[in-house]
Amino acid sequence: MNLVSQIQCYMTELLEHLEESVNMDSPSADKALNDEMMAWYKHLFIQLTNGTVERVPNDLYGDRLLCKLGEGSKRILIVGHSDTVWLKGEVARRPFSISDNKAYGPGVYDMKAGVLQAMYGMKALMDLGRLPKDKEVILLINSDEEIGSPTSRTWIEEEAKKCSAVLVLEPPMEPGGALKTWRKGSGRFTLTVQGKSAHAGVNPQSGVSAIEEISRQVLSLGAMNDYEVGTTVNVGVIKGGIGSNVVAAEAEALIDVRVKTMEEAERINALIHGLTSVHPEAILTITGGITRPPMERTDAIAELYELAKQVSLTELGEEVQEMGTGGVSDGNFTAACGIPTLDGLGARGDYAHSPLEYVMIDEIPRRAALLAGIVEKL
């Protein structure tokens, strides 16, 4: 029996477990709910694989898990996360449901189905006697990925450096289910302008408008965009002023940056921090920087993708494609450590971070088989 057929045998219970997991709220900022989710994942992993689970404490966000299978010298890391973008109570408003061969619910696509695919993929390798004895497979489940992994980045990087390859359970690129062999890096900056208030009708000339200054700065930031190179600089939020009849003394802009290479990241970081005021009396304060390094498509990542293509042909009867994205994941961190990283190995579906999100049920065994086959051949 091949991997797809084996995993299809699990689908009744897999969908039951998917319903259970989706119907558990696990917002990033709620430690108690994420701890409950992690306890559930720990129990299920042991139940399915008889593997071992290390619970890694986290004082601020949910505890994290290292689920381990095998005792070989070659270590493979699979990276997922338990947290979702949905607040407590979202499950009560729209619980798990199935319609037209699609499963719906908060976090079903990003990424509760993906985590279960990994667990059942490992179970299939064991049940078929295809888990190589020279490998230790580690499923890392993070609890704060959706907010940038502020407490988990160092931990993820340390675990990745112990492994020969990293496989990330984020959803693939649609249509087609392409794997992600590169991701842009991202940065977040805050630009604050201090001006000088004045009465807009009586003596406006004695003021220094922070809003006017920040408007000029926005134009300078916009000029940094280079779509051919892949660099985007977006001012997404502007705040300022206290009333239409007051020359604004303060203004603030929140800036998102996406870049394809570390060289470009360093260049844009220097440009933003090097901004100077147009008005001589306006004072600029710039904070922030590059928060996730780019996942650049290296030769090692290309080799990992070629292996995935071979597995896809053997197990699925088709050749999986590759693409890149401006979105970020924990794979950005592992790739920047120099560890070959392949992303997009999660569930197929659409509408991440939307009430419309869903996964394609028929694709679950196929994606789980793809992941398992890559683990086997690495």
Same domain, 281 and 304: no
pLDDT attached to residue 203 = 97
C-alpha distance from residue 356 to each of 78, 150, 322, 353 (Å)? 27, 28, 25, 8
Q: What are phi and psi of 176, to 5 degrees?
A: 115, -20
Instruction: Kindly indicate the confidence band of residue 152, based on its pLDDT and cuts at 50, 70 and 90.
Output: very high
pLDDT, tens digit, 9 for 90 and up, residues 4-13: 999 999 999 9
Residue 145: pLDDT over 90: yes
Same domain, 153 and 301: yes
Class of residue 133 by CB neighbours under 10 A (exposed 0-12, middle 13-18, buried 19+): exposed
Same domain, 275 and 357: no
β-pairing, 198-199 vs 246-247, is: antiparallel
Tokens of 41: 């994942």
Tokens of 58: 């986290």
Rg of the chain on CA atoms, in Å:
23
User: Domain end: 264, 292, 320, which one?
Assistant: 292
Contact present, 359 and 349 (Cβ < 8 Å): yes
Same domain, 308 and 171: yes
pTM for the whole structure: 0.95
Same domain, 79 and 172: yes
Same domain, 25 and 119: yes
Same domain, 354 and 283: no
Same domain, 274 and 316: no
- Identity of residue 93: R
Structural domain range at position 243: 185-292
Same domain, 157 and 195: no
**Residue 92 backbone class (left: φ over 0; alpha: ψ -120 to 50; beta: rest):** alpha
User: Domain end: 268, 292, 316, which one?
Assistant: 292
CATH of the domain at 190: 3.30.70.360
| Cα 113 from Cα 14, distance rounded (Å) | 9
Number of domains the chain contains: 2
Which secondary-structure segment (H or E) carries 166? Answer: strand 165-168
pLDDT attached to residue 204 = 97
Same domain, 97 and 173: yes
pLDDT, tens digit, 9 for 90 and up, residues 295-320: 999 999 999 999 999 999 999 999 99
Same domain, 121 and 8: yes
Class of residue 201 by CB neighbours under 10 A (exposed 0-12, middle 13-18, buried 19+): exposed
Class of residue 142 by CB neighbours under 10 A (exposed 0-12, middle 13-18, buried 19+): buried
CATH of the domain at 138: 3.40.630.10
Residue 15: pLDDT over 90: yes
| Cα 175 from Cα 215, distance rounded (Å) | 39
Same domain, 218 and 348: no
Instruction: Kindly indicate the confidence band of residue 1, based on its pLDDT and cuts at 50, 70 and 90.
Output: confident
User: Domain end: 292, 312, 337, which one?
Assistant: 292
